[in-house]
Amino acid sequence: MALEQDTGTPRHQRADAARNRQRLLAVAADVLRERGLEASVGEIAERAGVGRATLFRNFPTKQDLITAVVLERIREGVAEGEAMLETGGDQEILFPFMKLLVGRQRVDRALFESVGGEAFLTDERMRQAHAAIIDLIDRLIAHDQRLGYVREGLGAVDMLMLIKGACAVATSMPDLGPQALDRHLSLVRGAIAPPGRDYPLEGTAPTIDDLHARPVSER
């Protein structure tokens, strides 16, 4: 209530503003995915059905918009991990969560690259988002260790490094396709396996022909 009086804005107008902001974020994510970082903010405003003034009021620079989209994606990922932990019971969670993140980052590659390492060091909200992921992964590891899915000694930053590596494979070798990524992840799963637990390799080993499958013109 105090907040409402402070802003001097009627409740329905603030609800509209929040909806506009969420809509802008969702549309921006789509447009950035389709067009890459060259996407124009004009197109984003237009497709979201809001004026440019509204867009700039919410996100003064394009980088602000991109950062907000990435923060939203991270929040969604953390929320999904929390939900898996709540409903997962005795099922393995850490590896499925890793698969989820890698598959998604494959699609949102440019987005995550654009806020790369420096942003995590300089932007306080990014640092907080990073800390939230680390905290979640710590709990996923503890859950899966207790059930014998994951080796002792594994830390959340170890997992982030494995996820980072698999994301690089996913984005740098697009010719290999999603099956090859599943294959690769089934291999990486062995890195987090506890002694005596053997996870099967999925599919067959890719060949050099798979690497050179498509002519450049079709890439």
Nearer to a copy of itself, 35 or 212 (CB): 212
Nearer to a copy of itself, 85 or 132 (CB): 132
String marking each residue 160-199 x if it binds a copy of itself according to CB under 8 A: xxx-xxxxxx--xx--x---x--xx--xxxxxxx-xx-x-
Task: Sort residue 150 into left (φ over 0), alpha (ψ -120 to 50) or beta.
Answer: beta
Nearer to a copy of itself, 57 or 197 (CB): 197
Both structure tokens of 146 = 């207790």
Cα-based distances in Å from 151 to 70, 83, 91, 155, 196: 31, 23, 16, 10, 10
Count of CB atoms situated within 10 Å of the CB of 84: 19
User: Taking CB under 8 A as the rule, does residue 215 contact a copy of itself?
Assistant: yes
User: Taking CB under 8 A as the rule, does residue 151 contact a copy of itself?
Assistant: yes
Shortest distance in whole angstroms from residue 156 CB to a copy of itself:
8
* Triad 142, 146, 152: Cα angle to 5°: 70
Both structure tokens of 53 = 């003034």
Give the separation between CA 212 and CA 194, rounded to whole angstroms.
35
User: Taking CB under 8 A as the rule, does residue 143 contact a copy of itself?
Assistant: no
Q: How distant is the alpha carbon of residue 197 from its chain centre?
A: 29
Shortest distance in whole angstroms from residue 188 CB to a copy of itself:
5
Nearer to a copy of itself, 23 or 130 (CB): 130
Residues at the interface with a copy of itself (CB under 8 A): 116-118, 120-122, 127, 130-131, 134, 151, 153-158, 160-162, 164-169, 172-173, 176, 180, 183-184, 187-193, 195-196, 198, 201, 204-208, 210-212, 215-216, 219
